[in-house]
Structure 1
Amino acid sequence: MSTLPPAESGPVSVGMIGLGNMGLPMALNLLRASGPDRHIRKVTVTGRSRERSAALLAAGAAWAGTPRELAEQSDVLILMVPDLPQVEEVLFGPDGVAEASTELVVVVSATVSAAGLRTVDARLRHGTHGRMVLVDAPVSGGTEGAEAGTLSIMVGGDVEPVARVLPVLSACGSPLRLGPLGAGAVAKACNQLIVAATMSAIAEASVIAERSGLDLGALLDLLQGGYAGSRVLETKGRRLVERDYTPTGAAKFMVKDLSFAAAAAADTRTVAPTLAAVRESFLRLTEAGLGDQDLAVIHRYVGSL
């Protein structure tokens, strides 16, 4: 059972670990939403290199030397790290979050396994006698959404800790509680299936169009105005035309994300042929050495077949 204070207890101090392509702009938005008479009192960060956080520190963030020190200074701690092994390292490693004596809601914004997340939560609650609990809050919207503060944020967790973090997450986009812990992870798995399938269809259609002699840029602009239009087409279409696969998010991570979707499908006895097909495609393109490039690189992969 959690011993966290009620959500209406006042302004909160927010900590953040994971200041990469997504985490850095999210932290900047948290800073912009902080100050006197605001819900966020202050923002503190930590990481492997203080120098990489220079822009945040210049903007007003505080620095903590270790995850434990960061936890001691925070009411809500957001983790934007790659996967559960990194979450466990931050929580349970030397000078980890779980060694702090404070009450804390830890928000896992990575794309992770729902079952694994619940296991980590049970360990954290037991080890801290209920002082610390997890909420999952994976995001969608890419670096563009992270910078603009317009991310879709899929939240899972107990009602009380979720109530504490929703106003904080609102600085980064639109958070919505979808159910108990793990609901956010399942929602993100569904999101990634749709994104991967859409990107794959756009790539295949683009190769067909190019080989048929069509002006690809004109075609994709036209398609965006009809039923084929999507956020994926809007943000990735120009990349296909220009063969620009510079990563905003590496395609190889889709293999992991789609594995979580496959696990959710198995748990719910759902036959998902589209999921199986797109998972295979991203696995093969990663094996072909394209995984470090942008999601749009599936266009190059399809063209090589």
Structure 2
Amino acid sequence: MPSPSLPPEVLAYIFDHLVRITPNNYDLYISILGCCCVCRGWYHAALPILNGARPLVRYFTVHKFTVKQLQHLAELFAVARRYNLKLGAVVDEMEIITSELLLDNSTLVKLAISLVHSLQFHLPLLKINFYGMYTPHQLKLLRYLLQSFAKGLKTLPKLRISFLMDPKLEYTSPLRTLRLFAAPILRPTPHPFVAFIPTVGPLLTQFETLHCSLTPPLAHALAFCSHMRTVDFHHTRFHLTPDAFATLLSSWPDIQTLSIRSPHPSTANTREVVDRARSFGQEKIVELEIYDMNSYCDVTRK
């Protein structure tokens, strides 16, 4: 790469001045990302500006960008990865709200996939929000999205999912019936996320649920996450027996931290599941945190 024509101090002043006169501008920060790819001197001058760009860049929500902006970002992160520039480190977390993403055309979905693959080596946290994903068409698009994620992922240290309320949904069967006006045949089919987890499970070390349902299909999929170290269940419905939950915990031999906060009281065996987690944590887990509105337990073992 060519050397910069201006001293680093001057470049840093220019970038900082642009941010001050036009704050909270997505296009400006994307342009500064582009400046990072010009040469090493510009990279070191512009990177501190991006490190302070909260929340525009560091907390990256896909649907807040236009298609044109996402195309530019995907190209920039791909170039940065090619030249071994740690440009992806400016992003602390990436959030994908699937209902917003899948409302648009397939171009937006492909760009989100490209961004995840470009950022994966520097992305500390990937957040996937499943709110409003119920119809067969939505779930079909979601399956394509998650399958595409899994194909190119080589690292995914932490994953947070939210609003996965029922990992087993009723799909309309494509089979035809002899009766012309017969009711559609409904068959239970695993949620696309349940099929996604076993493919990326060996990559995960941290996993968090928020407003989700932990059911047997999801627990079976999570058992493939053999390198799990930290697990957080926040506002979760436990549709598991205590023995099934204990079996799930035993499938994570390297687990060090377990957190259960505000479990949903609607399920009958919530108390038994929490008690089983407490007894398991006192034996094998380095740190256990349980907050269930009535009791609080914090055990730290070295």
Band of TM-score, shorter chain? under 0.3
Q: TM-score, normalised by structure 1?
A: 0.26
Tell me which protein shows more strand as a share of its residues: 2
Q: TM-score, normalised by structure 2?
A: 0.27
Tell me which protein shows more helix as a share of its residues: 1
- Could you say which structure has the larger radius of gyration? 2
Greater relative contact order: 1 or 2 (C-alpha under 8 angstroms, separation 6 or more)? Answer: 1
